[in-house]
Amino acid sequence: MNKRMSRLGVSIVALLLAGAGAILFAALRPGPTRAAALMSAITACRAVGTYGYSAFGYTYDDNLLGLPVGYVTSNGTLTMSPSGELTIKEYEVVNGQLVPAPPGTSQPFTFTGQATVNSDCTFSADLTMEGTTIPGFVGVIVDNGNQVRAMTVIPGIQVSYVSTVKVHPTTSGNNQQ
């Protein structure tokens, strides 16, 4: 009987050690990378593609983009790649006047940036302008990836992006529809 109890004890200890080893392996195993998680959220939210938009709002004195003070409207496109890279091309009108392109550039204004898309399809995006990264906007991807609702978080600029509708479902040859 002692031999049988001894074998049973060894078997239980071995089972416990195997279970502990599996738990330790699972705990120490590297999880998905940030890039993989981002691509997974972008794919799940069907965010890849080009969106056309209209935006309306107000620019305040000393705004980060140096736009004149006043009512602003904007029309353009936002393209998101599977890795969250953004390209925005837009025309800006402030107080009824087309804002001229900065010296050495042409219309439409072109911004690049990086979006972070969450599993609930909310997102934030940073923009790069003249080598400087600034907070750009926050929003949510809706209607199975066919529309975006967003607003700027650029200091001194209050703009809501409305009528943001997907006009082309592919980017870089990848169709996420």
Residue with tokens 């479902």: 169
pLDDT in tens, the chain (177 residues): 545 444 433 333 333 333 333 332 333 334 445 455 556 667 778 888 999 999 999 999 988 888 889 999 999 999 998 888 999 999 999 999 998 877 777 788 888 999 999 889 999 999 887 778 888 899 999 988 899 999 999 899 999 988 788 987 764 434 433
Q: What is the CA radius of gyration of the chain?
A: 25
| Rounded-to-integer distance, Cα 90 and Cα 52, Å | 10
Q: Which of the four CATH numbers 3.30.70.330, 3.30.70.20, 3.40.50.2000, 2.40.128.120 does domain 38-171 have?
A: 2.40.128.120
Both structure tokens of 68: 């004149």
Task: Give the rounded distance of the alpha carbon of 91 from its chain centre.
Answer: 22
Listed by start position, the domains of the chain span: 2-30, 38-171
- The reported pTM is 0.70
| Rounded-to-integer distance, Cα 80 and Cα 78, Å | 7
| Rounded-to-integer distance, Cα 47 and Cα 144, Å | 9
Q: What would the pLDDT profile of 21-59 be if each residue is shown by its tens digit?
A: 333 233 333 444 545 555 666 777 888 899 999 999 999
| Rounded-to-integer distance, Cα 130 and Cα 149, Å | 26
